[in-house]
Amino acid sequence: MPLVFAGVCSHAPGIVGRADQADPLAKQRLDAAFRDLRLQLEASQPDALIVVAAEHFANFFMNNMPSFAMGLADYYEGPIENPEWLGIEKTRIPGNRSLSERLISKVMERSDVSYAEEWKFDHGIMVPLHFLTPQYELPIVPANINCQGPPLAPLHRAWEFGQALREAADSVPERVALIGTGGISHWPATPDSGKINEVWDREFLNHWSKCDKESLLAYSDSQAYMDAGQGAFEIRTFIAVSGATEGCPATVHFYEPIPIFAVGCTTATVDLSVP
Amino acid sequence: MQKFLFELNRNADFQSRYLSDRRDAMNGFDLSDEERHALAEPDIGLLFHLGVNGQILMHFAAFHEIEWQDYLQQMRDGIAAHGPVREGVYAVTGYEGVDAHSSRLSKTSDAEKGS
Model pLDDT for residues A17-72, shown as the tens digit of each residue: 999 999 999 999 999 999 999 999 999 999 999 999 999 999 999 999 999 999 99
Residue B115's pLDDT is what?
43
pLDDT at A196 over 70: yes
Model pLDDT for residues A102-119, shown as the tens digit of each residue: 999 999 999 999 999 999
Model pLDDT for residues A130-161, shown as the tens digit of each residue: 999 999 999 999 999 999 988 999 999 999 99
User: Is residue A48, in this structure, part of any structural domain at all?
Assistant: yes
Please name the member of B10, B75, B76 whose beta carbon is closest to the beta carbon of A80.
B10
pLDDT band at B97 (very low <50, low <70, confident <90, very high): low
pLDDT at B91 over 60: yes
Q: Give residue A140's domain range.
A: 5-266
Is residue A233 a contact partner of residue A4, using CB atoms and an 8 Å limit?
A: no
User: Is residue A153, in this structure, part of any structural domain at all?
Assistant: yes
C-alpha B48/C-alpha B84 separation (Å) is: 9
Apex CA B49: angle with CA B44 and CA B51, to 5°? 100
Please name the member of A193, A195, A225 whose beta carbon is closest to the beta carbon of B93.
A225
Smallest CA–CA distance from A203 into chain B, residue: B112
Could you give the C-alpha distances from A135 to A27, A44, A178, in angstroms and in order? 21, 17, 18
Return the SS3 of A50. Answer: strand
Whether A80 contacts chain B with CB within 8 A: yes
Mean pLDDT of chain A: 96
Rounded to a whole number, what is the distance in Å from the CA of A116 to chain B's nearest CA?
Answer: 16
Complete domains list, chain B, with CATH:
2-114 (1.10.700)
Is residue B54 a contact partner of residue B48, using CB atoms and an 8 Å limit?
A: yes
C-alpha A71/C-alpha B18 separation (Å) is: 30
Is residue A266 a contact partner of residue A255, using CB atoms and an 8 Å limit?
A: yes
C-alpha A12/C-alpha A16 separation (Å) is: 8
Could you give the C-alpha distances from A102 to A1, A19, A138, in angstroms and in order? 13, 38, 18
CA A182, chain centre distance (Å): 5
> Looking at residue A24, which CATH number applies to its domain?
3.40.830.10
What are the residue ranges of helices labelled H in chain A? Answer: 14-17, 24-43, 83-86, 97-107, 123-132, 155-171, 198-209, 213-217, 221-228, 235-244
Please name the member of B6, B63, B108 whose beta carbon is closest to the beta carbon of A57.
B6
pLDDT band at B87 (very low <50, low <70, confident <90, very high): confident
B105/A195 Cβ within 8 A: yes
pLDDT band at B105 (very low <50, low <70, confident <90, very high): low
Give me the amino acid identity at A5.
F
Rounded to a whole number, what is the distance in Å from the CA of A228 to chain B's nearest CA?
Answer: 9
Residue A130's pLDDT is what?
98
User: Is residue A273, in this structure, part of any structural domain at all?
Assistant: no
B112/A199 Cβ within 8 A: yes
Instruction: Tell me the mean pLDDT in the region A220-234.
Output: 91
Task: Give A-chain residues touching B53 at CB under 8 angstroms.
Answer: 57, 148-149, 189
Residue B106's pLDDT is what?
64
Smallest CA–CA distance from A120 into chain B, residue: B10
Residue A30's pLDDT is what?
98
Tally of domains within chain A: 1
Whether B108 contacts chain A with CB within 8 A: yes
Please name the member of A80, A149, A187 whose beta carbon is closest to the beta carbon of B9.
A80
User: Is residue A272, in this structure, part of any structural domain at all?
Assistant: no
User: Is residue A93, in this structure, part of any structural domain at all?
Assistant: yes
Q: What is the ipTM of this complex?
A: 0.86
C-alpha A195/C-alpha A182 separation (Å) is: 16
Residue B110's pLDDT is what?
64
Give me the amino acid identity at B44.
I
pLDDT at A223 over 70: yes
Report the 10 Å Cβ neighbour count for A142. Answer: 26
